[in-house]
Amino acid sequence: MNIIDSKRIWLSSPHMGGTEQDFVNEAFRTNWVAPLGPNVDGFEKDLETYLENDANVAALSSGTGALHLGLIMLGVSHGDEVLCQSMTFAASANPIVYLGAKPIFVDSERDTWNICPEQLEIAIKDRIAKGKKPKAIVAVHLYGMPYNVEAVHQVAKEYKIPVLEDSAEALGSTYHGIKCGTFGDLAILSFNGNKIITTSGGGALVTKNEEQKKRAIFLSTQARDNAPHYEHSEIGYNYRMSNITAGIGRGQMQVLDKHVSYRRRNFEFYKEHLSDSSEIKFLEEPNGMFSNRWLSCIETTSYKLREAIRGALAKENIESRPLWKPMHLQSVFTECDAYLNGVSEDLFERGLCLPSGSNLEEDDLQRVVSVIKNVLR
């Protein structure tokens, strides 16, 4: 097929449900064109209802901003150490550095591709032995697969270290029936353009109570004290979500569960058509885990095969991408210590994310599968 003739198939593109524009129009009609208003309140309520478990949600301008505020609220500051899953997007780790703290990276486990509870405990013991107890743990539900909540939180509890749960990729995923985004002492969500639902750009901090939510909103709106003039006794940030983008979010919440089912359908389709090959492996859901399958990923048998598949897909105008490059391999973090078992490096070498949007059609999936089958032949 000629690249010009074939429709581009994206890895994960925005997918509107239909009512988003109505909420945005209403914001214009009523002149709520500001970082507050009925859509912001409504979107927060929708998320709180969806997440259950008494979740309190502060809508913010990005998931990265939410991580930044989350670390501040957990007391992380200059000179602290924060343990962070190595296999993740850089935004999980960057806010640690914003605060003058030091990320210490922890490798993944095979079963979930997320932070390994054993390596986590080894890291904590070693940091304490070296004289500094880590201030927080950033654990990530990568690609929508929950991390091993029970084991990770047991280690965290034993050493009394708070967990900042990075649920940017896992809205709609559950662990033993409980929604991801409600496990950490604080948790974050992302509504970037490529995520399971989008507000074009946006995020949220999920807190355990109303007081923490108010604190997050206070910090995200320039930390303005209660006075007629502008009075400040703390450093503030400009991280609040806009009432326009929140309108998109309200529309997206109406189709969230449908989007999860479409993403899971993508995964099942790939698995059904590719798993008879011994050269391709899929990550199964461990007992009690339900993944939103934000991205459908495969493990190939070698770097060479992975690159052959990626190249063949690119030639057919199909976007695919190697799995997240671990943070301990990133040149920006070469100074940081890491506790490693080889899993994340191995996954990075052989793994590939396939087109996974909730707006893909069966023809698109069929095109992806036939290109891959051609390479395997």
Q: Is 292 in the site for ligand PLP (CB under 6 A)?
A: no
Q: Shortest CA distance to 357 belongs to which of 255, 266, 257, 254?
A: 266
- Applying CB under 6 A, which part among 9-17, 86-94, 218-226, 349-357 lies near ligand PLP? 86-94
Site stretch for ligand PLP (CB under 6 A), options 22-30, 85-93, 265-273, 315-323:
85-93
Q: Indicate left, alpha or beta for 233 from its phi (over 0: left) and psi (-120 to 50: alpha).
A: alpha
x/- string (CB under 6 A) for ligand PLP, residues 174-213?
----------------x-x----------x----------
d(CA 101, CA 93): 10
The CB-of-252 to ligand PLP minimum distance in angstroms stands at: 14
Segment interacting with ligand PLP (CB under 6 A) among 34-42, 44-52, 163-171, 332-340? 163-171
Residue 107: other Cβ atoms inside 10 A: 24
- Specify the 3-state DSSP secondary structure of 116: coil
Q: Which of 67, 18, 15, 45 is nearest to 246 (CA)?
A: 45
CA atoms of 267 and 12, how far apart (whole Å): 13
CB-nearer residue toward ligand PLP: 44 or 274: 44
Whether 142 and 80 have beta carbons less than 8 Å apart is answered as no
Given the residues 102, 179, 195, 213, the one annotated as active site: 195
Size of the site for ligand PLP (CB under 6 A): 14
Tokens of residue 331, six digits: 């040149």
For residues 284 and 339, is the Cβ–Cβ distance under 8 A? no
Report which residue's Cβ sits closest to ligand PLP. Answer: 63
- Non-local (6+) Cβ contacts of 106 within 8 A are 83, 84, 85, 86, 115, 116, 119, 120, 123, 338, 339
- Asked whether the beta carbons of 62 and 203 are under 8 A apart, the reply is yes
**With contact defined as beta carbons under 8 Å apart, do 350 and 303 qualify?**
yes
**Residue 62 within binding range of ligand PLP, rule CB under 6 A:** yes
* Least distance between ligand PLP and beta carbon 259 (Å): 16
Task: Taking the CA atoms of 218, 219, 223 and 225 in sequence, report the sign of the dihedral they define.
Answer: positive
Which of 58, 59, 74, 91 is close enough to bind ligand PLP by CB under 6 A?
A: 91
Do 59 and 39 contact (CB within 8 A), yes or no?
no
Residue 168 interacts with ligand PLP (CB under 6 A): yes or no: yes
**Catalytic status, residue 281:** no
Q: Which is nearer to ligand PLP, 64 or 112 (CB)?
A: 64
Helices (H) and strands (E) in the chain, counts: 12, 15
169 near ligand PLP, rule: CB under 6 A? yes
Tell me, residue by residue from 17 to 56, as one string, x for binding to ligand PLP by CB under 6 A and - for no binding. ----------------------------------------
> At closest approach, how far in Å is the CB of 192 from ligand PLP?
4
Mask: binding to ligand PLP, 131-160, rule CB under 6 A, as x and -?
---------x--------------------
Bridge pairing between strands 174-175 and 289-290:
antiparallel
Closer of 121 and 166 to ligand PLP (Cβ): 166
| β-bridge partners, 296 | 354
* Residue span binding ligand PLP (CB under 6 A) among the ranges 11-19, 38-46, 166-174, 242-250: 166-174
Active site residues: 195
For ligand PLP, the binding residues (CB under 6 A) are: 62-64, 88-89, 91-92, 140, 166, 168-169, 190, 192, 203
